Structure 1
Amino acid sequence: MVWALVRVIKRGITNLCSSEPRVFPKSGWESIDPSYFIEEETIPTYRPEKFYPAHIGEIINHRYQIVGKLGYGSSASNRGHAYITLKIYTASTTLTREIEIYNHQKTIQSNHADSHRTHTCLVHPPLGISLDQLTPLLPGQVMTSAMVRATMRNVLAALDFLHTEAQVIHTDLQPNNMLLGIKDDSILSKFEQAELDAPVARKTLEDRTIYTSRPLPISLGTPVLCDLGEARVGTDQQQGDIMPDVYRAPEVILGMTWDYKVDIWNVGMVVWDLLKRRHLFKARDPDPHALLRSPPGEFLARSEKCSQYWNEDGQWKGAAPLPDYSLESREEKLHGDEKQDFLRFLRRTLC
């Protein structure tokens, strides 16, 4: 997928927020050697014929003009104002999971989707940089505990809506799916002007141009939970692999059915990442048992796979030795009551 910032152009005299198309430079950018892989080309599953060959300045559906590239991904390459974000999916013959989720939510909140031939597009209000992009810009490359608390209050409110009202499990909470809101729309016009003044580097191929993404500046809006591309309708008795390795909940690893509580496990993982700038578990750790102690018997009974790692009393018998550390020993940043409150919250999310 490709994310593009687009301008709403004139479509009838009543559309007061629209504007005339802009004319972008035809030269003046750095040309990248075609032999180098950049952006979406670095995705292991990249196939150029699946990606829509969008170009800056292009007008889509007689309504939207692309003014810059915000980013890219593997599956998909405020309406009242002049700018929106267009998420252009790779070519597919089936309806994507994300649109299924949006269709499911239509009775709860309004969403909009457009199609361009075989490339489905989602139209969203523009948002700022992700928390994954924000944290390296902060002192020590981590958030303060106050920033994490404020952020997670919004994330938990979003999950409360998904779980209790929409009956949806997100399944993919991570810092790059949490974006800052935009209070000052001037950063969008500055983004567009920057492309006019200093076009981004790009590589020109026979059938397409691949642009480098232009980052947005830091915005000060409320964090927003995004990307429902891996979400599931229904909050219990789900099956199948979900979540990146470093965030994967134990019931998923052990092949059990799972429910909305995998999102709560994810909350704990993300909180630790934002405070520490490192993951709580390694991607291939066999077991979080060292930090959480013996799992309860009713949990072990849910999967035959558990018998490979624990005996009937819940004691670890796996081949890999357990590391000698605890949550308390791994938490070195906070002190006193704040540390105890944090660890209590973290244990509840993980248990």
Structure 2
Amino acid sequence: MPIAPSMRQPGDEGVEAASLTASNALLGSGSRPGKRPRPSGGAPQQQQQEQQPPQGGTSMLLRSAQKRLMAAEAAARTNSGVGSSQQLDRTDSCGGSADAGLTTAAAAAVAAVDAAEAGAQQPPEAQQSWQQAQAQQSQRHAAAAGAAAAPAAAASRPQQPPPKRRRISRAGVPAPLPSYELRTFDRPSPPFRDDDENGHYRFEIGENLAPRFKIMRKLGEGTFGQVMECWDRKRRDYVAVKVIRNIQKYRDAAMIELEALHTLAANDPAQAQHCVRLLEWFDYRGHVCMVFERLGASLYDFLRRNAYRPFPLAMAQSFARQLLQSVAFMHELQLVHTDLKPENILVLNNEISKDPPPSAKVGKRLPASSAIRVIDFGSATFNSDYHSTIVSTRHYRAPEVILGLGWSFPCDIWSVGCILVELLSGDALFQTHENLEHLAMMEAVLGPIPPQLAASAVEGVRDLFRRNRLNWPDGAESKKSLKAVQRLKKVKDYLRQHCEDAVRPHLDCIADLIRQMLDYRASERITAAEALRHPFFALQL
């Protein structure tokens, strides 16, 4: 979750000041400023003292991080009943799963894991029914993703097998920077301070984060920690440092994120798959610190600065192609991102185009280059690992997640479909904060939810249906909610209403791709590899 802030504030014509919007998105919390604020994904603040992690306990964390999180989530689900629609609504971002009921359960679960590691019998965890339910579709998506980058060759000549992708095991994550690497610069360390009541690192602008890194500014704060822009005295360059809260469950989550980041880097040494690059990491005064390359603004930042006017079609096509290439690469590695959204797609730098395309309206500010990086792997999950109940920021959440049917690779494709609509229209497609309204919006755009899916929904969500049909409009909470749903149209009509004139000749092609990405049935949803072969990406724009 690096940050690469855009440096421009609303009303400021410069591009050299940090963007809090991008950095907050990287941290999985905060709402969008301006036209359409989004529900916060941050977890409630922890009010009670939590156990401090052992210093230098990296090897132990690598072995037990996943077990701790699995046990904590299983205990929380058992004790708090996550099947209810109220529980499903408590988290609108993957960065903030239902922490309000997690503290006590997590503490008990972590204690059980510790006892098991000491030789005691660990209590059985809940069976993961999603593994069986998603096995067939996972194989299909993984197989298709494996062919994403394989070029078509003449049948008369032999094919070279593609390089084998590999997951970096937790034990294979490189060690943190040794302390002497941080102390080799003749700069004082800041005075030792206690962390704040929520485990966040206390600091002052201008002091050092270890002698090597000088803190230039704070760029954001969220569920997992803080992001700072720092001057790296060794690299002689600015970097983004994410400082994780000094609380054990967040340290454990950070180790899982490091596994995903190192797996991506090991399989993409040339950084050709558009994923952000982790430079290094270290453990400082109980805080896991991740050092990332500094990038530019997010795609959401550009939409906001341009008053939510859409990107030119050629630029949106380029963004979508790179995003799908990145997703196909992740899926080939059996990794599901789970939190794709415009805030988590950054351009490489903050250069602004001096010659905007003819289709751009007067005053629209566009990036000079359409090259992007996908960021924020804090919630990325390997398909064989434990899957939490709720993932994805609300606006980009797939129906199978809302209905409690289990999720896998297709949930990323749903998010990409929502993102493509937003790039072409300027507005998020599903602007909502609760399940019934969200499902009603889906039906307004995509037609009725298949009865088979409604019948399979988990208890609590099933109450939103009557005889396997959505209880709408009878179940609407307000007239405002009714109007929000009534404003939506079918995909093609929605794009015709909101997109630029240059898009209209290609509406049939674009709408076809989006409909395949937004198929209710996860097993039938187009894969990233298949989407890259869609005629939309053959258009010469």
The one-letter amino acid of 2:340's match is L
Aligned to 2:237: 82
Deviation at 1:253, TM superposition (A): 0.9
Question: Of the candidates 202, 227, 240, which is equivalent to residue 53 of structure 1?
Answer: 202
The one-letter amino acid of 2:491's match is L
Deviation at 1:144, TM superposition (A): 1.7
Aligned to 1:129: 297
**Structure-1 separation of matches of 2:413 and 2:286:** 36
The one-letter amino acid of 1:88's match is V
Point out the structure with the larger helix share: 2
> TM-score, normalised on structure 2?
0.46
Aligned to 2:490: 326
Question: Quick check: 1:4–1:67 contact (8 Å CA) kept in 2?
Answer: no
**Structure-2 separation of matches of 1:65 and 1:74:** 23
**Structure-1 separation of matches of 2:319 and 2:255:** 26
Aligned to 2:253: 97
Aligned to 2:506: 338
Aligned to 1:271: 420
1:36-51 to 2 correspondences below 5 Å: 45=44, 48-49=196-197, 50-51=199-200
- Tell me if 1:161 matches 2:329: yes
Aligned to 1:32: none
The one-letter amino acid of 1:176's match is E
Aligned to 1:299: 453
Task: Give the direction of change, closer, same or farther, for the CA distance of 1:45–1:224 in structure 2 (3 Å limit).
Answer: same
Q: Which moved more, 1:260-269 or 1:62-71?
A: 62-71
**Structure-1 separation of matches of 2:400 and 2:325:** 24
Question: Of the candidates 233, 244, 257, which is equivalent to residue 393 of structure 2?
Answer: 244
Deviation at 1:262, TM superposition (A): 0.6
Question: Quick check: 1:76–1:90 contact (8 Å CA) kept in 2?
Answer: yes
> TM-score, normalised on structure 1?
0.69
1:301-320 to 2 correspondences below 5 Å: 301-305=455-459, 308-309=463-464, 315-318=469-472, 319-320=474-475
**Structure-1 separation of matches of 2:259 and 2:43:** 30
Aligned to 2:138: none
Deviation at 1:45, TM superposition (A): 4.1
The one-letter amino acid of 1:258's match is W
Deviation at 1:328, TM superposition (A): 2.8
Deviation at 1:101, TM superposition (A): 3.1
Task: Give the direction of change, closer, same or farther, for the CA distance of 1:134–1:99 in structure 2 (3 Å limit).
Answer: farther
- Tell me if 1:222 matches 2:390: no
Question: Of the candidates 316, 321, 326, which is equivalent to residue 148 of structure 1?
Answer: 316
DSSP-derived class of the 1:121 partner: strand
Question: Quick check: 2:338–2:379 contact (8 Å CA) kept in 1?
Answer: yes
Deviation at 1:103, TM superposition (A): 1.7
Question: Quick check: 2:245–2:287 contact (8 Å CA) kept in 1?
Answer: yes
The one-letter amino acid of 1:62's match is P
Deviation at 1:178, TM superposition (A): 1.0
Aligned to 2:345: 178
Question: Quick check: 1:174–1:270 contact (8 Å CA) kept in 2?
Answer: yes
The alignment's C-alpha RMSD in Å is: 3.5
The one-letter amino acid of 2:224's match is S
Q: Which segments of 5 or more consecutive residues in structure 2 lack a partner in the other structure? A: 6-28, 31-39, 47-195, 227-231, 267-277, 352-365, 477-481, 520-541
**Structure-1 separation of matches of 2:212 and 2:425:** 44
Aligned-residue sequence identity (percent) comes to 24
DSSP-derived class of the 2:376 partner: coil
**Structure-1 separation of matches of 2:311 and 2:514:** 16
Question: Quick check: 1:98–1:230 contact (8 Å CA) kept in 2?
Answer: no
DSSP-derived class of the 1:141 partner: coil
Give the paired residue count.
Answer: 283
Task: Give the direction of change, closer, same or farther, for the CA distance of 1:176–1:107 in structure 2 (3 Å limit).
Answer: closer
Deviation at 1:235, TM superposition (A): 6.4
Point out the structure with the larger strand share: 1
**Structure-1 separation of matches of 2:456 and 2:237:** 52
Deviations 1:189-228 (A, max 9, x none): xxxxxxxxxxxxxxxxxxxxxxxxxxxx966462111001
